[in-house]
Structure 1
Amino acid sequence: MSQAPGIVIVGAGQAGVQTAEALRAGGFEGPITLLGDEPHGPYHRPPLSKAWLAGEMDAAQLVMRAPEMLARKNIELRTGVTVQRIDRAAKCVALADGSTLPYSGLVLATGATPRALPLPGANAPGVLPLRSRADASAIAERMGTCLEKGLPIVVIGGGFIGLEVAATARKKGATVTVLEAAPRLLGRVLAPVLSDWYAELHRGHGVQLMLGAQVAAIEADASGVTGVKLADGTVLPAGLVVVGIGVSANDQLAREAGLECDRGIVVDGCGRTSDRSIVAAGDCTARRLADGSLLRLESVQNATEQGKSAAAALLGQDRPFTATPWFWSDQYDKKLQMAGLSIGADTWAVRGDMASGSFSVYHFQGQRLLAVDSVNAAKDHLQARKLLDAGVSPTPEQAGDAGFDLGGLLK
């Protein structure tokens, strides 16, 4: 350790890379070390369930930042590195190889881990989550075997990851069943009318949906998974089972170091943790809001904006993340773009013709606009972000009237 302590970033994903680059853009001239526990350099995760899984994207296209690009910014990337412990008193991190790395500022961008299926047989070969490039490659390989042998694929979980995988598998010609424990798809994030629309979209593409499904066990033989057993005794044959039942924030390092955690590393609007020399960004965080509640967001935008905020905090500046949250999902030829958070909505308005496949659903709490979900309606999405950023609410009647100029409300 010949160099003076600089800033150490644990996690080489979207949030970690953004923080490193924002530090350089903000004028930080000291050492920056970016530690990734995977053997690959930084890569884009959203394509893993879509273009990468479908074989429409190669490894070069998946790269987020090439190591030489980071090197030009004097950011040292170290891959295949596991951090075992944070020593806050000594201001260093202990690595798995026995070495330590000092820091003047520490960034935790440790991401999240897919929740495991707590059932008999869940560890059988061919029962796979989707989070990393290695996961996606393993699913693609097993999916290829299913296509060759005519074996069905079962997806457990009707969330975004599960539905994107289902759509990709159907496009490749596989037989697919989606099992969702809730009474509707994406029930926590979509209005019932849109949830039902997505159910029909998948059924229309040949996916068998089983809502209210209770999985009892995974059946397997010497070669791996053979089926999924339901609580009623039904067994669904399967040569591949993809598990998409959510993720848990990787906050163990922070917990063990005594930082405040609550289903994630607790941060303020600027990414600061309970230790002012440590910031956190991305999927590992839970942001404390003004009313004291905690908000967990899992998105590229959140990772990017929290990375910028965290970098500013280490530079002694306040740059709170205040923009309207947005998300997206690609399934078949439909792009869902979501702006805002629909929690608490009690009224919905549909703008456009749902049968046409291009429309938006506006979420209201009383007369206040909370969020807008747009399907193949990019202009609606961009306008929704402007309305939400400005705190301007149309009435539900105005939102549902395709002839009403919502943009006029911003003038």
Structure 2
Amino acid sequence: MVDAPRTFVIVGGGLAGAKAAETLRSEGFTGRVILVGDEHDHPYERPPLSKGYLTGKEERDSAYVHEPSWYTGAGIELHLGQPVTAIDRAQKAVHLSDGTTIRYDKLLLATGAEPRRLDIPGTGLADVHQLRRLVDADRLRSTLASLGRDNGHLVIAGAGWIGLEVAAAARGYGAEVTVVEPEPTPLHRVIGPELGQFFRELHADRGVRFRFGTRLTEITGQDGLVLAARTDDGDEHPAHAVLIAIGAAPNTALAEAAGLDLADRPEGGGIAVDAALRTSDPDIHAVGDVASALHPLLGFRLRVEHWANALNGGPAAARAMLGQDVSYDRIPYFYSDQYDLGMEYSGWAPPGSYDQVVLRGDAGKRQFIAFWLKERRVLAGMNVNVWDVTETVQQLVRSGAPVDPEALADPATPLDAVVPSP
């Protein structure tokens, strides 16, 4: 009697899910691989949505992880546009919205995150946007082009990475931009006030208006169209379109309904997984934006919403599902492109975790590396218009050893020669 082939099911049609499917095949898995996504598009990467595709410099197809024909060639079964409605752990099955039931031997949850919404009047008006999915980028790209032609105004709620990248794209089209942010600087909760001020100046120099310490309270309109955005300080800002970019929440509803352990909110929420990206059910793994992983190097639980986590986490989860010994200890990494500025950030140093910021280079010329230190140990580094240093920065973070801040700041000292101090 021939045993039935093993079936691995991946829920989530983003980069993490697609790379996991690719890795299962490259590692020699010959069983069934079924990828289920709630969008009709083939799996795609998210950075182009706020970067190359949104700015008009890249075509839509540039976002796809693989050519659509690749999935057939690799024997990956796709169920697109069909959300999973429930996980039956006892029967080891997932139920789809069209009534299909798929049984699994191993299950990977790569369900990602969804934009947080504003509960204020006017969010249902035309040209009120969010940006998470490819169809969102289609719509926003058309709006930005229209605003640029007509000298229109875009109001952005939120000065995080998405808000700033969209602001840069909008200015590239010629639109007027106002950013409303309750914190005192852009990116305040990510990189702190020291470097937040740098990004404020970057955008202000390009004509972006900021309103810090305020929140949107209402979007007004007429005949379904946006006319203005009001803030809690009583001001009214002209607007022909609004982007809500106030962060994202992990899609944990399926996991929670199935009784899987979730992480606490101070740890970013998400599905709790160990260093092998395994959930509280040994036959279910989770990866990407939805996973809160115990980081072997950092020593605490972490949920990372960036591209590199999906790119590297998907393959790691696939290998763990195959029974390989996996300890996912990648240093968190992300990058951003805004105007003529490119940056890469490695590590984890939110405000309150560091006691010193060291700059190497010239921030005025927008060409430098910033380091966040605690007790002379490098927690994170960000290179701005400086390239080919990410590996060295990550080595400094990974070492956990104290360094000499003066040598770290001195461009005459090669970065790879910055040795731990006694």
Question: Structure 1 length as normaliser, TM-score?
Answer: 0.95
CA RMSD of aligned residues (A): 1.7
1:266 and 2:272 equivalent? Answer: yes
Per the TM alignment, residue 238 of structure 1 is displaced from its structure 2 partner at its CA by 0.7
Corresponding pairs, count: 409
User: Is the alpha carbon distance of 1:194 and 1:205 closer, same or farther for their aligned partners in structure 2, counting shifts above 3 Å?
Assistant: same
CA distance in 2, matches of 1:63, 1:380: 28
In structure 1, give the amino acid aligned to 2:8.
Answer: I
1:174-231 deviation digits (Å, cap 9, x = unpaired)? 1001111101110112243321111111000010111112221111222322111111
1:384 is aligned to 393
Per the TM alignment, residue 123 of structure 1 is displaced from its structure 2 partner at its CA by 2.2
Per the TM alignment, residue 5 of structure 1 is displaced from its structure 2 partner at its CA by 5.2
Deviates more, 1:153-162 or 1:139-148: 139-148
In structure 2, give the amino acid aligned to 1:376.
Answer: N
1:15-60 deviation digits (Å, cap 9, x = unpaired)? 1011111112222110001111111101221011122112221122
1:150-175 deviation digits (Å, cap 9, x = unpaired)? 32110110000000000010011110
1:295-306 alignment, distance < 5 Å: 295-306=302-313
1:88 is aligned to 89
SS across alignment from 1:89: coil
User: Is the alpha carbon distance of 1:89 and 1:21 closer, same or farther for their aligned partners in structure 2, counting shifts above 3 Å?
Assistant: same
Q: Contact 2:219/2:229 (CA < 8 Å) preserved in 1? A: yes
CA distance in 2, matches of 1:121, 1:161: 21
1:396 and 2:402 equivalent? Answer: no
CA distance in 1, matches of 2:402, 2:140: 43
CA distance in 2, matches of 1:76, 1:203: 48
1:340 and 2:340 equivalent? Answer: no
1:107 and 2:114 equivalent? Answer: no
Q: Contact 1:93/1:101 (CA < 8 Å) preserved in 2? A: yes
Per the TM alignment, residue 241 of structure 1 is displaced from its structure 2 partner at its CA by 0.3
1:381-403 deviation digits (Å, cap 9, x = unpaired)? 33212322344442211111111
1:48 is aligned to 49
In structure 2, give the amino acid aligned to 1:367.
Answer: R
Unaligned ranges ≥5, structure 2:
264-268
1:219-298 alignment, distance < 5 Å: 219-262=220-263, 263-289=269-295, 293-298=300-305
1:322-341 alignment, distance < 5 Å: 322-341=329-348
1:181 and 2:187 equivalent? Answer: no
Per the TM alignment, residue 289 of structure 1 is displaced from its structure 2 partner at its CA by 4.2
CA distance in 2, matches of 1:356, 1:144: 30
CA distance in 2, matches of 1:363, 1:213: 28
Deviates more, 1:35-44 or 1:173-182: 35-44
2:322 is aligned to 315
In structure 2, give the amino acid aligned to 1:320.
Answer: S
CA distance in 1, matches of 2:59, 2:145: 16
Per the TM alignment, residue 349 of structure 1 is displaced from its structure 2 partner at its CA by 0.8
In structure 2, give the amino acid aligned to 1:274.
Answer: S
1:363 and 2:351 equivalent? Answer: no
SS across alignment from 1:188: helix
Unaligned ranges ≥5, structure 1:
none
Percent identity (aligned): 38
Q: Contact 2:276/2:320 (CA < 8 Å) preserved in 1? A: yes
CA distance in 2, matches of 1:74, 1:370: 42
2:143 is aligned to 142
1:329-385 deviation digits (Å, cap 9, x = unpaired)? 111010111011113111011100111111011110011111111100113333212
Q: Contact 1:41/1:67 (CA < 8 Å) preserved in 2? A: yes
Q: Contact 1:309/1:318 (CA < 8 Å) preserved in 2? A: no
SS across alignment from 2:94: strand
In structure 2, give the amino acid aligned to 1:171.
Answer: G
Runs of 4+ off more than 6 Å: none
SS across alignment from 2:229: strand
Per the TM alignment, residue 405 of structure 1 is displaced from its structure 2 partner at its CA by 2.5
CA distance in 2, matches of 1:188, 1:4: 47
Deviates more, 1:72-81 or 1:10-19: 72-81
1:117-162 deviation digits (Å, cap 9, x = unpaired)? 1212222221111011111111112223323333211011000000
SS across alignment from 1:279: strand
Q: Contact 1:92/1:100 (CA < 8 Å) preserved in 2? A: yes
CA distance in 1, matches of 2:137, 2:203: 21
Q: Contact 2:295/2:328 (CA < 8 Å) preserved in 1? A: no
Per the TM alignment, residue 315 of structure 1 is displaced from its structure 2 partner at its CA by 1.1
Deviates more, 1:108-117 or 1:138-147: 138-147
1:44-90 deviation digits (Å, cap 9, x = unpaired)? 21011122112221122222112211222211222111110001111
CA distance in 2, matches of 1:301, 1:269: 17
SS across alignment from 1:52: helix
User: Is the alpha carbon distance of 1:93 and 1:32 closer, same or farther for their aligned partners in structure 2, counting shifts above 3 Å?
Assistant: same
1:112-123 alignment, distance < 5 Å: 112-123=113-124
1:162-173 alignment, distance < 5 Å: 162-173=163-174
